[in-house]
Structure 1
Amino acid sequence: MNLVTPDIGLIFWQGITFLVVLFILSRYAWKPIMKALRDREDSIQNALDEAATARKEVDELKKSQANMEEAARIEKDRILKEAKLIADKNLEEATTKASKIIGDAEEAAKQAIDKERQAAIADIKSQISTLSVQVAETLLKRELSDSNKQENLMQELINDLKVN
């Protein structure tokens, strides 16, 4: 029962033992324990700071990536517009060249047709004149076979010349 109701000597020695243990702990153990706790606290704080920095960097990278994606989209749209303009311009140029070639071909065909028509007309005139001469020759042979008819024809021609 002495432990339940301690006497003064026991309390005194327990106090001295406590103070000695406290002195030894404060002298040799307290500082390393506190240093370890402070180091642990500092490492945790550093880890939290690094995590916050990393979070900020990730946010900045996300923003940068979003900006780069937007810039790439804008550049893609610009390139597509340029390609469409170039394609439209090339199509227009090709259409213009084709129209010019077709127009030139039509003009050449018209000229060729006109030349052929003129040649055909000249040939027809030549044939008509040849036929006219042959008809006239035949008529004159019939008309002039008789001497009375010849004199009458001469008289008509002379009369026609006087009138004109």
Structure 2
Amino acid sequence: MDQLLNDFSPGLFIMQTVILLVLIFLMVKFAWKPILNSLNEREEGIQGALDAAEAAKREMQNLKADNDQLLQEARTERDSLLKDARAMKDKMIADATDEAQAKADLILIKAQEAIQSEKQAALADIKNQVAKISVEIAEKMVRHELDNKDKQMKLVDDMLGDVTLN
């Protein structure tokens, strides 16, 4: 350290101080402003990016809220459509059941009418056959000269044995 103090030159010290001050002045004049401008631009860019990210975040939240609302509306509409479809299905089933019951009742009535008609026709046919048989019996009885009751009874029994109802 002694050697440094012995080698110290005030002219050199002043000259180096002046050069240092000139360099600082030049740095402030030409380099400091661009560096500060560059830092400010960078800071503004970062702040802009942060603001844009915040705006995007808010926009995403708004979109999510809108999507949730649309989803809820779609679910409500789906539930309404399903309810309407179920009601329509139940109505169609009830209508088909009523129509089938009406057709079944009509078929039953027609069947009963047909049975009644067949019954009347069968009774009329039986009456015709009984009348025909009666006429045949009377005719056979008249042909035979029947003086005797025993003969008449025997003839009636024979004829009844020959007759079969269809």
Q: The TM-score by the shorter chain falls in which range?
A: 0.7 to 0.9
Question: Match of 1:97?
Answer: 99
Deviation at 1:67, TM superposition (A): 1.6
1:38 Cα deviation (Å)? Answer: 0.4
Q: Structure 1 pair 72/31, CA: closer, same or farther in 2 (3 Å)?
A: same
The alignment partner of 1:2 has SS state of helix
Q: Which one of the candidate residues 71, 74, 81 is aligned to 2:73?
A: 71
What does residue range 149-160 of structure 1 map to in structure 2 within 5 Å?
none
Q: CA deviation at 1:13?
A: 2.6
Structure 2 SS opposite 1:87: helix
Q: Percent identity?
A: 38
Question: Which piece of structure 1 moves more, 9-18 or 78-87?
Answer: 9-18
Equivalent residues, number: 146
* TM-score where L is the length of structure 1: 0.75
Question: For residues 86-121 of structure 1, what are the alpha-carbon distances to aligned partners after superposition, in whole Å with 9 as ceiling and x for unaligned?
Answer: 111111111111111111111111111100001111
1:50 and 2:68 aligned: no
Residues 30-72 of structure 1 deviation map (CA, whole Å, 9 limit, x = unaligned): 1111100100000000010011011111111222222222222
Return structure 1 stretches of 4+ with deviation > 6 angstroms.
139-144
Alpha-carbon offset, residue 137 of structure 1 = 5.5
1:36 counterpart residue number: 38
| Alignment equivalent of 1:124, drawn from 123, 126, 132 | 126
Distance 2:119 2:5 in 1: 148
TM-score by length of 2: 0.74
2:89 corresponds to 1:87: yes
Cα deviation code 1:106-158 (max 9, x no counterpart) = 11111111000011111112222333444455667789859xxxxxxxxxxxx
CA RMSD, Structure 1 to Structure 2 (Å): 2.7
Q: Note the residue ranges of structure 2 that are not aligned, 5 or more in a row.
A: 149-166
Q: Which protein, 1 or 2, shows the higher relative CO under an 8 Å CA cutoff with sep ≥ 6?
A: 2
Deviates more, 1:39-48 or 1:100-109: 100-109
Quickly say closer, same or farther: Cα 1:105–1:4, change in 2 above 3 A: farther
Gap runs ≥5 in structure 1: 147-164
Aligned letter for 1:61?
Answer: L
Q: CA deviation at 1:18?
A: 2.3
Task: Provide the C-alpha distance between the structure 1 equivalents of 2:75 and 2:23, rounded to a whole number of angstroms.
Answer: 73
